[in-house]
Amino acid sequence: MLLEVRNLHVGYGDAPAVWDVSIEVDAGEIVSVIGPNGAGKTTLINAIAGMLRSRQGHLRFDGVDMTRVRPHGFCEQGIALVPEGRRLFAKMTVEENLELGCYLPRPRAARAESLERVYGLFPILRQKRAQPAGELSGGQQQMVAIGRALMAQPRIVLFDEPSLGLAPTIVDDMFDIIVRVRDAGAAVLLVEQNVIKALSVADRAYVLEQGRIVATGLPDELMKQPHIREAYLGV
Which positions lie near ligand ATP, rule CB under 6 A?
A: 12, 15, 17, 35, 37-43, 193
- The nearest distance, CB 122 to ligand ATP, in angstroms, is 25
Cα dihedral sign for 35, 226, 224, 25? positive
Which C-beta is closer to ligand ATP: that of 36 or that of 132? 36
- Adjacent-strand bridge partners of 11: 16
Which C-beta is closer to ligand ATP: that of 42 or that of 54? 42
Which C-beta is closer to ligand ATP: that of 41 or that of 128? 41
Cα dihedral sign for 73, 77, 82, 84? negative
- The nearest distance, CB 107 to ligand ATP, in angstroms, is 28
According to DSSP H, which parts of 82-211 are helical?
A: 94-99, 105-109, 111-121, 123-127, 138-150, 168-183, 195-201
- The nearest distance, CB 44 to ligand ATP, in angstroms, is 7
- The nearest distance, CB 216 to ligand ATP, in angstroms, is 16
Which C-beta is closer to ligand ATP: that of 17 or that of 207? 17
Which C-beta is closer to ligand ATP: that of 119 or that of 232? 232
- The nearest distance, CB 194 to ligand ATP, in angstroms, is 11
Which C-beta is closer to ligand ATP: that of 40 or that of 162? 40
Three-class SS state of 100: helix
**What is the C-alpha separation between 114 and 48, in angstroms, rounded?**
24
Cα–Cα distances in angstroms (integers) from residue 222 to residues 53, 189, 200, 212, 217, in the given order: 30, 17, 11, 16, 6
**What is the C-alpha separation between 128 and 190, in angstroms, rounded?**
27
**What is the C-alpha separation between 140 and 121, in angstroms, rounded?**
12
- The nearest distance, CB 36 to ligand ATP, in angstroms, is 7
